[in-house]
Structure 1
Amino acid sequence: MTDAATQQTPATPQEVLARFHARREESVVQPRGSLALTQTQQVDAEQTIWGVPGTWAPRTDGGSGLTVTATAADGIRVDGELVDGTATVRGKDDESPSEVVFSDTVSGFVIAQHGGSYALRVWDAESDAIRDFGSIDTFDFNPEWIVQAAFTPNPEGTTLGFEHLKDDGQTRDEVIPGSITFSKDGVDYDLAAFKSGRALQIVFADATSGDSTYSVGRFLFVAPRPDGTITLDFNQAVLPPCAFSYAFNCPMPPKQNRFTVPIEAGEKNVLSKAGALLH
């Protein structure tokens, strides 16, 4: 039997949240963290791209990705091979996506864009944003915003259009697996969430958005239980990637995910070392 004196005291909710935020701050300064993204350049025709060498162009064979033309002196490596001529850079939607290395700290890959084109993403492990980063400002732990909700599956194929920050008002249809419903302070809510890996992603805004929190909104990742219940812990609401880099194009909250009340829980803004807004 374990000696009671040696048993660990369970972590408090505040301690659990502190560890969550510490992991978040560590993640955004990684070589492929949100603060490292310096460029997302769509390539619809042959062109150069600011900050990196080579001439980039769509593939002419209809395959995934782009081509890059460079000399050995440019120092570009695609999948480990030095480019001296023209090389194919397969996109992330390919079964075997390419990796691009420009220098010891700068790398990239190609992503498929909405509408069928491709873009080069460039990451800098020593970006100005990483050097200037101070912290992610957060609200104190707020038990009032841990909400028990119900998850009701939607008919297969149910979709909802989400606007994105840089899409000029156009929407992208996302599959909505189910509705997330709850009541709080006499108000009924019915939130829309789409799949993100193994979780569901809620994109929401509230009365703090553009005031004490990032203007575009925030994300909350949740998972329903087999019995149809789901916990929404808004203390784990996170800033979207576009709060860290203008090179991201983030989804915006649909109408039903816009709260008229303030949700004073979770992340607020990205701060510099001097304590000012970084972005």
Structure 2
Amino acid sequence: MTAQTTTSTVTDRFAEEWRAWHTAHEAHLADPHGFLAITGLHWLDEEPRRFPGAPGLWWTGAEGVIVVLGDGEELLVDGEPVRGEHRFGVLPERGGVTPLWGDAAIEVAKRGGHDIVRPRHPGHPLRTSFRGTPAFAPDPRWSVTGRYVPFGEPRPTTVGAAVEGLQHVYDAPGRIEFELDGRPLALTAFNGKEPGDLLVLFTDATSGVTTYAANRALFVRAPAADGTVTLDFNRAHNLPCAYTGFATCPLPPAENRLPVAVEAGEKIPYERG
């Protein structure tokens, strides 16, 4: 086998793995109760109110979120039917529950210190007309090795949000140092989904041109013992706010605005075109 054949095989395998990842990522986004199914973003306060696409009267206070369902209305909470008054209690930041109402899901959550209700209906046109997300062709050159440098203590980091006036606070455990085309760069990292994994939010010179202006996200596997990590920018993906105005996505910290064009990963969604 020649060196050229070996290189071609590795590139083909890289592209195949990327396509499998992107297909799974889009399927998750287009789930019947995913972000494309959201029909409204409703902020709760102490005044009981009814919202389009959701049953009952909703409010929040010192004891947390409360709903009072009307005659004939029912929610399934953790698989159990509830009627009348139901208390969800005080929700943790970035936490929540999603009871079912017929074929819809009614997300009840806390974001930026505020309790919200977001109905999710599978028949929402944004979801039913979804045709995927354009992306740059996968290229191994955009998969780079970096070094994770932990902070002495996690740093509380306040960032803006897709919703004007809202803020999120994350504990940043460290930063990732790396190079692109010989240029030294760094990204502040947040905790990822799994213990030890990392998440970086960033913009770059393509933002607002070929990629979504506000942010892109990249998950990074837990660092090796020597701090080595892989930043595969081919898997830089859009957050829900790139598709819908009903998302509360965080914006990148100021230091994560890369001064280079990262021509890899997902582009501006068709829905924003």
| TM-score, normalised via structure 1 length | 0.83
Superposition deviation, residue 16 in structure 1:
0.7
Matches of 1:112 and 1:173 in 2, distance apart?
Answer: 13
Q: What letter is aligned with 1:33?
A: G
Superposition deviation, residue 126 in structure 1:
2.1
Q: Partner residue of 2:120?
A: 123
Query: Which segment drifts farther, 221-230 or 232-241?
Result: 221-230
Cα 1:91–1:15 change in 2 (3 A) is farther
**DSSP-derived class of the 1:158 partner:** strand
- Contact 1:91–1:118, Cα closer than 8 Å, also in 2: no
Identity of paired residues, percent? 29
Q: Partner residue of 2:60?
A: 58
Q: Partner residue of 1:155?
A: 152
Cα 1:55–1:257 change in 2 (3 A) is same
Q: Partner residue of 1:19?
A: 20
Q: Partner residue of 1:232?
A: 231
Cα 1:270–1:82 change in 2 (3 A) is same
**DSSP-derived class of the 1:154 partner:** strand
Query: Which segment drifts farther, 233-242 or 250-259?
Result: 250-259
Q: 1:222 aligns with which of 189, 197, 220?
A: 220
Query: Which segment drifts farther, 182-191 or 220-229?
Result: 182-191
Unaligned runs of 5+ in 1: 1-8, 272-276
Alignment length (residue pairs): 258
User: 1:154-188 CA deviation, whole Å, 9 max, x = no partner?
Assistant: 012322221112142x6433211112111223422
1:193 counterpart = 2:195: no
Q: What letter is aligned with 1:215?
A: A
User: 1:60-90 CA deviation, whole Å, 9 max, x = no partner?
Assistant: xx33x4111222323444453242x322234
| TM-score, normalised via structure 2 length | 0.85
Matches of 2:143 and 2:76 in 1, distance apart?
Answer: 48
Q: What letter is aligned with 2:231?
A: L
Superposition deviation, residue 196 in structure 1:
2.4
Superposition deviation, residue 35 in structure 1:
1.2
1:1-279 equivalences in 2 (<5 Å): 12-45=13-46, 46-59=48-61, 62-63=62-63, 65-79=64-78, 80-83=80-83, 85-90=84-89, 93=92, 99-103=98-102, 105-115=103-113, 117-168=114-165, 171-198=167-194, 199-223=197-221, 224-271=223-270, 277=271
